[in-house]
Homo-oligomer: A and B are copies of this chain.
Amino acid sequence: MHKISIIMGSRSDLEIVKEAVDLLKAFKAGFEIEVLSAHRSPKEVAQYVEAAPKKGIRVFIAAAGGAAALAGVIASHTTLPVIAIPIETKSLKGLDSLLSTVQMPAGIPVACMAIGKAGSKNAALFALEILAISDKKIAKKLLCYKDDMRKKIKKIKVKI
């Protein structure tokens, strides 16, 4: 089974990353999760990313904040798709994380999601959308998930 790898730049990112994890669990998708830092453990990032394909990993999800180099550094070592979650920061509220993630130079793509929890959930969904191209089961589940969202929102009645 194809697997998704989730890499966090810091343990403190787990609160946000949990959104992605919970969704992947709900889809019973194969995934693994690591704490690896582009700045504090660059060699471990390189080694991990290069060894990933043999373990069945087909998509990376990277979560980092501030001068968020992680997703770009992962992308520098692979041609597998890299999805990024910019983590909200205390002072600049994630604008720094967003710009340092999304403004990648030509040649090294990174797929940037929204800042924070919405971005985390969507990173998982987008990883599944990628795998769904060659995995009909996931494709079917995604259609159900989308349909459920639509039904849920239709049921809401606002009383005022």
Contacts and interface: CB of A to CB of B under 8 A. Distances in A.
Nearest to A131: B133
Interface of chain A, main secondary structure? mixed
B72 A39 contact: yes
Contact of A113 (B37, B104, B142): B104
Copies in the complex: 8
11 contacts: A42-B46, A44-B150, A67-B99, A67-B100, A69-B72, A69-B73, A81-B129, A92-B93, A102-B113, A103-B115, A105-B114
Interface in A118-145: 118, 121-123, 125-126, 129-134, 139, 142-143
Interface of A: 2, 8-11, 14, 18-19, 21, 25, 33-44, 46, 58-59, 66-69, 72-73, 75-77, 79-81, 83, 88-96, 98-118, 121-123, 125-126, 129-134, 139, 142-143, 146, 149-150, 153-154, 156, 158, 160
Q: Which of A8, A59, A104 has the most CB of B within 10 A?
A: A104
Contacts of A113: 102, 104, 109-112
A66 to B, nearest CB: 4
B115 A35 contact: no
B150 A40 contact: yes
Contacts of A142: 79
